[in-house]
Amino acid sequence: MARRKTAIAVPEEILEEVDRAARERGESRSGFISRVLRLTVRARRDAEVTRRLNALFADQSLLEEQRREANELTTLGIDWSSERW
């Protein structure tokens, strides 16, 4: 993965905590900050996916459609118990 240097201003007490946490994990400061940033970006993306799914499933018309389809499948009498998810 290509790396690019950047300069940021961080309060001294935060930087001391970052250094302490990085040492405890056996990581460099740069590695620790990169990992934390990666996790933060992923969490933000996951939160957006969750928000969109919640909005989708809050749609009353979709809920009714899913209920109708589930009822139709139930009336077919298909045994789904052997299916693995």
| Tens-place pLDDT, residues 8-50 | 999 999 999 999 999 999 999 999 999 999 999 999 999 999 9
Q: What are phi and psi of 50, to 5 degrees?
A: -60, -40
CA distances to 9, 10, 70 from 13, in Å: 12, 8, 56
- pTM beyond 0.75: no
**Contact yes or no for 41/30 (Cβ under 8 A):** no
**Contact yes or no for 66/72 (Cβ under 8 A):** no
Q: How far is CA 25 from the centre of its chain?
A: 23
| Between 73 and 35, the higher pLDDT residue | 35
How far is 59 from 64, CA to CA, in rounded Å?
9
What pLDDT, on a 0 to 100 scale, did the predictor assign at position 15?
96
